[in-house]
Amino acid sequence: MDLALVFMVLMGASVLAYVVLDGFDLGVGMLMPAASAQEQSVMVSSIGPFWDANETWLVLGVGILLVAFPLAHGVVLGALYLPVVAMLVGLMFRGVAFELRMKALGWHRELWNWLFWAGSFLASFSQGFMLGRYITGFDRGIGFLLFAMVVGAAVCGGYVLLGATWLVAKTEGDLQRKALAWSRWGLLWVALGVGLVSLATPMVSETVRAKWFDFPRTLALMALPAACLWAGFIVWRSTGRIARREAGRDWQPFAAAVAIFAISFIGLAYSLFPYVVIDKLTIWEAAAHPSSLKVMLAGVLAVLPFIVAYTAISYRVFRGKAKGGLYD
């Protein structure tokens, strides 16, 4: 068994789960200022039972990076130290604001709502900034820095798409109509982000360029961008149908948004494999000793079923439309 490859798959799956699950509640947090006080109560209720547990996947992914790929952990975290700190500060802001807004009254609650938004935005932008730096191999220069900032803004828009489509599924009435409009706005930002990453990655790496543009051998890979475009079309069409009260299910926009992120993640993983740091460090060069990997694999296989089971049960128990007042 290739343990390095197994851990790479586990780490990738953990990161994708975090991006999708915590992405929607980060998106809901960024949409808070655009809603009324009553709508904000419903929005908080829609994510309240899930958002703490969603961050477990981030802990798992970073933990696997640390113990399974210690050399890569030093390189990646060393290059991204400041944005990682900014992300953690944002996540702490969110946690404190979420708890204290429930006990605050009047303008104090409004203040904590704004801090919840600020924490959500800071965490989301930091993650996008890290992605922009990562796919350019941490190269220095003002152009690379500006690119990372644009990717950070695009990731914020992507999380808004996830959050808005989540609200389409979990709410009704005026708030759902607002969420439908937010979904289309977020879809445009996702298109920008996917386009930028798709253009930049082949430009900074000859390896990636050869993987994608060696025609006709790589022609079958065009199914990935085609599927991503189709998922985007489903988001646009389903939000329009729901707005016009035509046939359609409220969960379709969210499912299609998740598909966009999953397809994009698969494409990025294909582009980078077998590197942990693009063109510099492969997964086998960065992996820990096989004896350590065997011990860690036993631990991950023991813990992972509980995380999956808890996540599935919580989403099952709290299914259906959210109601206001649950966290007031």
Task: Assign 52 to helix, strand or coil.
Answer: helix
Asked whether residue 35 carries a pLDDT value surpassing 90, the answer given is no
What tokens does 48 get?
């309240």
The percent of residues in the chain predicted with pLDDT above 90, rounded, is 18
Q: What is the mean pLDDT of residues 255-268?
A: 91
pLDDT of residue 89: 92
Residue 259 has pLDDT above 90, yes or no: yes
Residue 273 has pLDDT above 70, yes or no: yes
Bond prior to 202 in cis (omega within 30° of 0):
no
54-74 confidence digits (pLDDT tens): 888 888 888 888 888 888 888
| Separation between Cα atoms, residue 275 and residue 284, nearest integer Å | 9
pLDDT for the residue numbered 258: 93
Note the pLDDT of residue 136: 81
Give residue 325's pLDDT.
Answer: 67
Is the pLDDT reported for residue 230 higher than 90?
yes
Report residue 230 as tokens: 């189709």
Q: Which two tokens stand for residue 229?
A: 């475009």
Average pLDDT for 203-224 = 77
Q: What is the mean pLDDT of the chain?
A: 85
Q: Residue 151: CB partners within 8 Å, gap ≥ 6?
A: 128, 129, 131, 132, 193, 196, 197
On the question of pLDDT at 215 being above 80, the answer is no
Q: pLDDT of 99-140, one tens digit each?
A: 787 776 777 778 888 888 899 999 999 999 998 888 888 888
Mean pLDDT of the region 297-311: 88
12-26, 39-53, 111-125: least confidently modelled range: 39-53
Choose between 230 and 203: higher pLDDT.
Answer: 230
- Would the pLDDT of 246 be above 70? no
pLDDT attached to residue 326: 64
Tokens matching residue 29: 């947090």
Indicate the pLDDT class of residue 328, thresholds 50, 70 and 90: low
Q: Which residues contact 39 (CB under 8 A, 6 or more apart)?
A: 174, 175, 178
Q: How confident is the model at residue 98 (pLDDT cuts 50, 70, 90)?
A: confident
Q: Check residue 59 and give its pLDDT.
A: 85
What is the average pLDDT across 215-231? 83
Do 129 and 148 meet the contact criterion of CB atoms below 8 Å apart?
yes
Q: Look at phi and psi of residue 175 and say left if phi exceeds 0, alpha if psi is from -120 to 50, else beta.
A: alpha
What pLDDT is recorded for position 248?
A: 62
Check whether 76 has a pLDDT greater than 90. no
Q: Which whole number is the average pLDDT over 211-229?
A: 80
pLDDT at 327: 64
Contact 80, 134 (CB under 8 A): yes
End-to-end CA distance of the chain: 51
